[in-house]
Amino acid sequence: MKIIKTAIKDCLVLEPTVFEDERGYFFESFNQEKFERESGLKPYFVQDNQSLSIKGVLRGLHFQKGEHAQAKLVRAVAGEVLDVAVDIRKDSETFGKVVTTVLSSENKKQMFVPRGCAHGFVTLSDEAIFFYKCDNFYNKAYEGGVLFNDPEFDIDWILDESELIISEKDRALPNFNRLILT
């Protein structure tokens, strides 16, 4: 496994070593010991989530607040997504930074999103199965989010905004400047 640092502190892209032959392929999707050694981080995953989304579905930008904050290890099991992390940790040297990467069943990359980052993705393929490993349990009372098209971040979601399928809940999320004032 190759671990690549990003513009956000502790936000990492993981590239697995894939063994392919005439039968197909094999790769180790996560190894706690290797991850700790290479990253210096020690997440303990307690919850796995999976979603299916059709092309254009944008989920995010979400996070859990306070003691319910979650680090996530995410990947596209099938299809292709643009994955996005935004550092919303006020005391972070990378506060306000954005990282985007394409995750797909073809490239088998994963992104580790640390606690204190908002996270989202948009489905680029006809459909995608997206898998999350979380290091804390979801708690509805502590959920938060930032508006996907906040001009502060200028995120290129690759698809035209007219192609995006976004829940009413996600369309009603606050802008970043409103979030940091509360």
The total number of structural domains that make up the chain: 1
How many CB atoms are closer than 10 A to CB 33? 7
Catalytic residue IDs: 62, 132
Degrees (nearest 5) of the Cα angle 179, 181, 182?
A: 70
Structural domain including 168 reads: 2-181
CATH number for the domain including 57? 2.60.120.10
Per-residue pLDDT of 23-42, as tens digits, reads 999 999 999 999 999 999 99
Per-residue pLDDT of 56-70, as tens digits, reads 999 999 999 999 999
Whole-angstrom distance, CA of residue 130 vs CA of residue 52: 6
